[in-house]
Amino acid sequence: METYQNIVLEKLPAHLRKYVVPQFYERYTPIDQALWRYVMRQNYIYLKDVAYYPYIPGLRKAGLTIERIPDLQQMNDSLKQIGWGAVTVDGFIPPAAFMEFQAHRVLVIAADIRQLEHIEYTPAPDIIHESSGHAPIIGEPEYAEYLQYFGEVGSKAMFSAKDFELYEAIRNLSILKEDPNATQEQIATGERLLEKIQQNMGEPSEMALLSRLHWWTVEYGLIGTVDDPKIYGAGLLSSIGESVTCMQPEVPKLPYTLDAVNYSYDITKPQPQLFVTPDFEHLRGVLDEFAADMSFRVGGKKSVDKAIACKNVCTAVYSSGLQVSGIFTAVGDENKLTYIKTSGPTALALRGKQLHRHSKNYHKDGFSAPVGLVTGFDRSLEDMTDADLYAAGIVVGQETVLSFDSGITVTGVLESLTRSEDKLVLLSFTKCTVRDTRTDAILFMPEWGMYDMAVGAQIVSVFSGAADKDAYEQQSDVSEISAVRHAYDESTKQLHERYARIRRMREKGNATEKLLMELFTDLQANFPGDWLSLVELLEIAANMSLTEAVRQIEDALDQIQKNQPHLVKLIQDGKRLAKDTNVSLIL
């Protein structure tokens, strides 16, 4: 993985690096570059009045220029100055991974760029949205802290099996909508699948609810007052269509509170309402209010039940500090947490670091252990000293019987004990039998080998993923669906060449009226509906004060918008900007 001489990226954990792809800057076509330039010029002119103030100087701080698509080296050279970094990925990545990148102060940027047909908005992540939307506001310290904190909270959020189905459906549909070769039937099929999954999600998971708060703040947030809000959300900052329409009075502006968690969203449609925060500190307060009830903060049976519903690797943390990572399947009593059980590879860790000898290979068939107090002890087992253990008859090399208040008994020869700081975290037995005396169920038998019993009176935290993700080497959740790499026909390649010529004329300043009109005539003959190339030509003609050329190009643009009414706003905005000499942000 390329780290761009950025220490932030050099410290990125191995389990996140699997999502990173090369930018392949050479894949961006001259049309892509013109599209970027058009969007950025439009945004610059409009957003300087409606964006939260730090956005405009933030463009430069983030290493962005109006003139060309940013390369990751340039962005990282700038972002590392404020303790952040940026990497490119292939479209949507799982929400938990996205959040964890944020926690590590790394912006995730989709390597692709939208098609010209979707210039105003695309449901698929692209480099316009991620870089021009997210990166510039990072220079505001309070917002950067909120974004990182959101990542820390979000990376712990419990998700359901349905959430991953939804993620795959959204990713698939967004790719189809940006694939010029996709048929309407394929898109319609993708939309039906997404709608079916959305209608059968059941009760929203922590991740689903948290993603709503992320959407209404990081992506579509407003700041200030409901009567005079400014834009800071990346989805708005990067959309030349919705950044305008969202400020209309027809779109309700609501004070941002925890109630926003009750508002679902649709990534394919304009937002029906937006939320306004008075300041970035308020965002953190709302997030803390939500996080107070999350599984990683409250633990207990309800949280373990969420881990079971997840059907993916989660971690349960005992009050002793021991972390158990695996796929959870049972909690003992249906009304009370008496023991935990996993199936398949399970690992044990302390403070995020895997315990020696307790990898998922060692516990390859699962793990189970009681939760609760031992009958007759005046304190929890985890708090007992060696002297306390000796007095209770818990001695290495001798047979030990532990009877828990829950009715579970552990009988075996104590082989070793493991402490962490002042806590007893693990007891290891041979010749061990574990029985639930209430049901007479056998939970562990001597012939199964060593019994490693986790120690702890409570489960104080449960969170998504393994405690030590790099050591656990969690099965890859990188989607098998990849964004389509475009293959261009000869006609499109010829159009690319025309765009490249226009850029050279503008940048070198060597255009003449004769060259410009020859290119205009060529475009009219071979690409009569291509409006963006004419907008770029119009800018050059206007700068050269070529009155007749300006008239002819504008007439051609008027004819295009007459034939294609959906282009009216794009063309009118382009004509207006072509004559504006005050749009410049070249690094």
Q: What is the full per-residue pLDDT of the chain (587 aa) written as tens digits?
A: 999 999 999 999 999 999 999 999 999 999 999 999 998 888 888 888 888 877 778 888 888 888 999 999 999 999 999 999 999 998 778 888 899 999 999 999 988 888 888 787 666 678 888 888 888 888 899 999 999 999 999 999 998 878 878 878 877 887 787 777 788 899 899 889 888 888 888 788 999 899 999 999 999 999 999 999 999 998 888 887 788 888 899 999 999 999 999 998 887 788 999 999 999 999 999 999 999 999 999 999 999 999 998 889 999 999 999 999 999 998 877 788 999 999 999 999 999 999 999 999 999 999 999 999 999 998 999 999 999 999 999 999 999 999 999 999 999 999 999 999 899 999 999 999 999 999 999 999 999 999 999 999 999 999 999 999 999 975 545 555 555 456 788 999 999 999 999 999 999 998 999 999 999 999 999 999 999 999 999 999 999 999 999 999 999 999 999 999 999 999 999 999 898 766 554 43
**Do 93 and 179 share a domain, yes or no?**
no
Which of 263, 287, 311 corresponds to the end of one domain?
287
**Do 355 and 396 share a domain, yes or no?**
yes
**Do 223 and 172 share a domain, yes or no?**
no
Asked whether residue 479 is assigned to any structural domain, the reply reads no
Closest CA to 278 of 252, 247, 255, 251: 255
Chain Cα centroid distance, residue 199? 23
Entry pTM: 0.87
| Gyration radius from the chain CA atoms | 29
426 sits in which H/E element: strand 423-436
Q: Report how many domains make up the chain.
A: 4
**Do 241 and 304 share a domain, yes or no?**
no
346, 324 Cβ separation under 8 angstroms: yes
**Do 547 and 450 share a domain, yes or no?**
no
Tell me whether residue 521 is exposed, middle or buried, using C-beta atoms within 10 angstroms of its C-beta: 0 to 12, 13 to 18, 19 or more. Answer: exposed
**Do 196 and 309 share a domain, yes or no?**
no
- The angle at the Cα of 492, spanning 128 to 25, to the nearest 5 degrees, equals 40
Pinpoint the alpha helices (H) of 268-332: 280-291, 295-298, 300-310
Asked whether residue 445 is assigned to any structural domain, the reply reads yes
- The domain in which residue 390 lies consists of 296-472
**Do 445 and 346 share a domain, yes or no?**
yes
Q: Collapse the DSSP code of 103 into the 3-class scheme (helix H, G, I; strand E, B; otherwise coil) and give the result.
A: helix
Asked whether residue 332 is assigned to any structural domain, the reply reads yes
Which of 267, 287, 307 corresponds to the end of one domain?
287
Which of 204, 227, 259 corresponds to the end of one domain?
204
CATH of the domain at 35: 1.10.800.10
Alpha carbon distance 224, 216 (integer Å)? 14
441-461 burial: b if 16+ Cβ within 10 Å, else e: eebbeeeeeebbbbbbbbbbb
Sequence letter at residue 455: V
- Residues comprising the binding site for Fe cation? 129, 134, 219
- Residues comprising the binding site? 129, 134, 219
**Do 152 and 270 share a domain, yes or no?**
yes
Q: Which two tokens stand for residue 420?
A: 């962490």
CATH of the domain at 415: 2.30.30.100
**Do 14 and 97 share a domain, yes or no?**
yes
Total Cβ atoms within 10 A of residue 293: 11
